[in-house]
Every structure is written in structure tokens, then in C-alpha cells.
């Protein structure tokens, strides 16, 4: 069984995670729209990624206006970003 495609998918996933977490580290409090604009992703893709990283404990989330969510890095998120940048 060849694991090569899986490694490529994982690499792309880590690149996306690194890029998104780095933008949050730089900007501080962000929305999915801000991530979409800064990473050239659709707002839907950005929103799903932020939710996934929140569930992993990498981001904290709060409500800004109405239903709009804002995200910041947790300590675990900072540690993960440092690890991703080192690999």
C-alpha cells in the first residue's frame, strides 16, 4: 500500500494550518472573512478551518456582533504554530 498521496494531503493541510494560524498570530482577533481575505480562501473554507482549529483547542472563539464569531490563538495554538514552523 502506497502512503504517498496521504503524505501530500497532510502536507497541504499543515501548510494551510500554518498559514491561517500565522495570520491570526499577526492580526490578533480575526473573523472568518478576514482570514478569507488574507489567505485567498473562500469565506466558507475559512469558517470551516477556524471551527476545526477551535475544536482542536488551537483557537478561542467569542461572539462579536450578532452571530459573527471572532477567533484568537490559544497557548496550545501558539505551541502548534511554533512546531509547524520548525518542521
**pLDDT per residue over 23-67, tens digit each?**
999 999 999 999 999 999 999 999 999 999 999 999 999 999 888
13 pLDDT more than 80: no
Q: What angle do CA 8, 10, 12 make, to 5 degrees?
A: 70
Q: What is the pTM of this model?
A: 0.83
- DSSP letter for each residue of 21-37: HHHHHHHSSB-HHHHHH
The residue to which cell 491561517 is assigned: 20
CATH among 3.40.50.300, 3.40.250.10, 1.10.10.10, 1.25.40.10 for 4-86? 1.10.10.10
The pLDDT value given to residue 6? 44
The pLDDT value given to residue 11? 57
The pLDDT value given to residue 87? 81
71 pLDDT more than 50: yes
What gap in Å lies between CA 6 and CA 83, rounded to an integer? 20
Amino acid at each position: 500500500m502506497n502512503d504517498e498521496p496521504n503524505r501530500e494531503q497532510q502536507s497541504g493541510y499543515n501548510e494551510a494550518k500554518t498559514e491561517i494560524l500565522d495570520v491570526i498570530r499577526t492580526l490578533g482577533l480575526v473573523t472568518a472573512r478576514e482570514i478569507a481575505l488574507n489567505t485567498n480562501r473562500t469565506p466558507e473554507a475559512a469558517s470551516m478551518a477556524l471551527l476545526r482549529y477551535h475544536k482542536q483547542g488551537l483557537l478561542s472563539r467569542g461572539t462579536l456582533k450578532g452571530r459573527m464569531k471572532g477567533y484568537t490563538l490559544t497557548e496550545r495554538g501558539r505551541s502548534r504554530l511554533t512546531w509547524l514552523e520548525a518542521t
